Chain A
Amino acid sequence: MGRQSVRLARNIERWRKRHGAGIHVRYVNADSLLIGFDRPEVE
């Protein structure tokens, strides 16, 4: 699992190498968002 995450990251890195000067890229682990999808009330 996570195959699509890895593929996306590879795309982003290729793009950053071509165009990334002056662009700030950060990666956000959003597992907590998926908890929210199931149970939005969870703190």
Chain B
Amino acid sequence: MRSSILILCLFILAGCNRMVVGVFGIHPYDHNVTWEKKDKLARRMGIKQHDYLVLHHRYARRVEERRGKEPDKHVQAKYQPLQLRWYSPGGRIQWIVPNCDVGGFPNLRWDHFGLPDTLIAPLSSRAYADSAWTITEDLLYMSERKNGLPPTHEVAEKGHLLVYWT
């Protein structure tokens, strides 16, 4: 009981830091992780081949360029291992929900902000999103897992959702 309270306090204090990521069953970065393991997890998640993208290392440089120009919390939010990113039909980013804002223990409660009934993000999530970012620019830092090619921006009537996972 005492250890549960301690972990809960750590989580609250940690905010968007990574110090307790492993405790919540989110993949901390494993330098020995193989593509076989990643693909196995992708299958468990039910990700279809044509929806499976990979983020490049150089994306971190893009995030680092924002350091000092926006609050630290916003930079740290963009490094979170689980994120939802919503873009308008035209491709402009609308909001980012990182795992650290979701809450819940021992499991993250994504339904706190509406899943699976709706997909409505709190105002704070909109603050993370730089309205100048577009999905087309973000896709420049990604490739398709199946063939390594750059993903194409496809038309979507209502919008685009990118689900960051590790």
Contacts and interface: CB of A to CB of B under 8 A. Distances in A.
Interface residues on A, range: 35 or more
A32 B116 CA distance: 28
Interface of B: 18, 22, 24-29, 33, 38, 41-42, 44-47, 51-61, 63-64, 78-79, 81-83, 99, 107-108, 110-111, 115-119, 142, 145, 151, 154, 156-166
Interface of A: 1-15, 18-19, 21-38, 40, 42-43
Contacts of B57: 32, 35-36, 42-43
Contacts of A21: 157-158
A28 B42 contact: no
Nearest to B159: A23
